[in-house]
Amino acid sequence: MDTNIVNTGNLCLMTGNANPELAKKIAEYIGVDLFDTYVGKFNNGETQVMIGDSIRGKDIFIIQPTSQPVNDNLMELLIMTDACKRASAHSITAVVPYYAYARQDRKTRGREPISAKLVANLMVAAGMTRVLTVDLHAGQIQGFFDIPVDHLAAAPVFADYFNGHDFGGELVVVSPDLGGVTRARILADFLKAPIAIIEKRRPRPGEAEVMNIIGEVEGKVALMIDDIVDTAGSLCEGAKALKKLGAKSVLAVCSHAVLSKNAVEKVNNSDIEKLVITDTIALPPEKESPKIIVLSMAKSIGDVILRIQARRSVSQLFR
């Protein structure tokens, strides 16, 4: 971190209840304290926000992934933004490492909502002037906003971790579906490895069926990459198919660990030897596992915040 590029005197970091540990790590990295903010509930269940001191003219960064409970965390973010706008903040950047509703980015059948666009509208209407997020499910969601969006990738963090391992030239990066090829290619370029692609279909929402694998995986260390691990069905079925086709071992990386229902149990009982995730979503103790390794996005997010504050380009960080 170049501490000379920015004066942090006007920078103000706030957090809701979604992931305060990540917010603390970002604040420590930048070298500021989290601003005194109370985010709780009234007796009737409505969200209550109280900001402890004047923020007039301040540049606010609200760190709040919209993870489970999704609607509570989203409302906290919107109401915190409204409070800051009405307190005459100079700018309000929503740091949303995990963007909820991102998988509802288009209509796949009649009479469906495009919820990812609705959430973007709500965020802009609340008064946000900028959004910083990590590994959107679909990059085109950036176009749903009428404000600047900084889209950070977790691939460099994963690459730093795996570059410390010797795979003997046998590593292959695997996309779990056709839509994730670009994400797999980015990580493969960092690791100087070839890619393979799992072709699958979804007979029902939340279920995946492997149809074919494109690329050479026999005798290889297969590293699957996805943006979200939710029920873990795709990853576990993909790992099973890779092992059947002769992969020596199977690893997986996912930016956002939703891990709903019995996902952790599935991972523990699967052919996946190691699942590497980031802390964009807080991992509660009941979801911890010897197979799951958590890497922090705090430094990467902190560097972007500093460059935004210094009015400097952030694009080189994304490369």
Q: Which residues are catalytic?
A: 200
SS3 call for 250: strand
Distance CA 262, CA 289 (A): 12
Cα separations in angstroms, 276 against 7, 95, 258, 291: 35, 22, 13, 8
Distance CA 108, CA 125 (A): 26
Cis peptide before 69 (omega within 30 of 0): yes
Helix axes 70-86, 115-126, angle to 10 degrees: 30
Distance CA 62, CA 11 (A): 11
SS3 call for 93: strand
Asked whether 304 and 317 are in contact (CB, 8 A), the reply is: yes
Q: Residue 62: which of 86, 29, 28, 26 has the closest Cα?
A: 26
Amino acid at 109: R
Amino acid at 27: A
